[in-house]
C-alpha cells in the first residue's frame, strides 16, 4: 500500500474513548482486550494513547514503565489504516513516552504469526530475545509469542 501524509496526532486515552478503542481492538484482533482491561490501564499508571487521524481515532497504544524498563502492552491500528505508516508512528511515539518515563529498555510480545508487526519492530531496532510458549489464545489452541527488546539511547550528560 502507498504511504499517506502522516498528519496524525496523539491524545491521551480517556474513559469516554472506550467505544472507539474497543471497536478498533475488535476489528484488529482475534482475541481483543476487554473494556475492563482498558479501564484499569486508563485509571492506573500506564501510558494510554490514541492515534487520531483527520479527527478519527484510528488506533491506540498502552505502555507500562517502571524501574528503568518499559513494556509495550498493546499497539493497535484499525485494519483500514494499516500499511500506511501509522503503526510505525505510534511505536515511535510510545518509545518517546518510555524515554520520558526513564526507561532504558523496552520489551514487547508479538504473535509468531504476525509477520507484518514483527518486521515493523525489527526495522525499528527491536531484537528477538526469546519465545513464550503458548502465550496467546488462538482459535485452535494457543500460539507462541516472540519476545522482543530494544535498548533506548540515553542522552549524554
| Per-residue pLDDT at 125 | 95
Find the catalytic residue in 25, 47, 109, 143: 109
- Active site includes 46? no
Relative orientation angle of helices 18-28 and 35-43, to the nearest 10 degrees: 130
C-alpha dihedral, 109 to 113 to 114 to 116, nearest 10°: 130
Query: What domain range is 54 assigned to?
Result: 9-151
| Per-residue pLDDT at 138 | 79
77 assigned to some structural domain = yes
4 assigned to some structural domain = no
Total domains in the chain come to 1
CATH number assigned to the domain comprising residue 43: 3.40.630.30
| Per-residue pLDDT at 144 | 86
Contacts of 135 (CB under 8 A, 6+ apart): 109, 142, 143, 144, 145
CA end-to-end span of the chain:
42
Query: Distances in Å between the alpha carbon of 89 and those of 39, 136, 140?
Result: 24, 25, 33
Per-residue pLDDT of the chain in tens (157 residues, 90 and over written 9): 344 446 789 999 999 999 999 999 999 988 899 999 999 999 999 999 999 999 999 999 999 999 999 999 999 999 999 999 999 999 999 999 999 999 999 999 998 888 999 999 999 999 999 998 987 877 788 888 899 999 997 654 3
Query: How many distinct helices (H) and strands (E) make up the chain?
Result: 4, 7
| Per-residue pLDDT at 153 | 78
117: which 3 cell numbers? 508487526
| Per-residue pLDDT at 105 | 97
| Per-residue pLDDT at 139 | 77
1 assigned to some structural domain = no
2 assigned to some structural domain = no
44: which 3 cell numbers? 492506573
- Active site includes 5? no
Find the catalytic residue in 47, 121, 136, 143: 121
25 assigned to some structural domain = yes
40 assigned to some structural domain = yes
Amino acid at each position: 500500500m502507498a504511504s499517506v501524509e502522516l498528519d496524525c496526532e496523539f491524545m491521551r486515552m480517556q474513559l469516554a474513548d472506550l467505544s472507539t478503542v474497543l471497536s478498533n481492538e475488535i476489528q484488529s484482533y482475534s482475541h481483543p482486550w476487554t473494556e475492563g482491561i482498558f479501564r484499569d490501564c486508563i485509571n492506573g499508571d500506564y501510558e494510554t494513547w490514541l492515534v487520531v487521524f483527520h479527527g478519527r481515532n484510528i488506533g491506540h497504544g498502552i505502555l507500562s514503565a517502571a524501574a528503568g524498563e518499559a513494556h509495550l502492552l498493546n499497539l493497535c491500528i484499525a485494519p483500514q489504516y494499516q500499511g500506511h505508516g501509522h503503526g510505525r508512528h505510534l511505536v515511535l511515539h510510545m518509545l518517546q513516552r518510555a524515554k520520558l518515563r526513564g526507561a532504558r529498555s523496552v520489551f514487547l510480545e508479538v504473535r509468531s504469526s504476525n509477520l507484518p508487526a514483527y518486521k515493523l519492530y525489527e526495522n525499528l531496532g527491536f531484537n528477538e530475545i526469546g519465545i513464550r510458549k503458548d502465550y496467546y489464545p488462538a482459535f485452535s489452541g494457543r500460539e507462541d509469542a516472540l519476545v522482543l527488546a530494544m535498548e533506548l539511547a540515553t542522552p549524554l550528560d
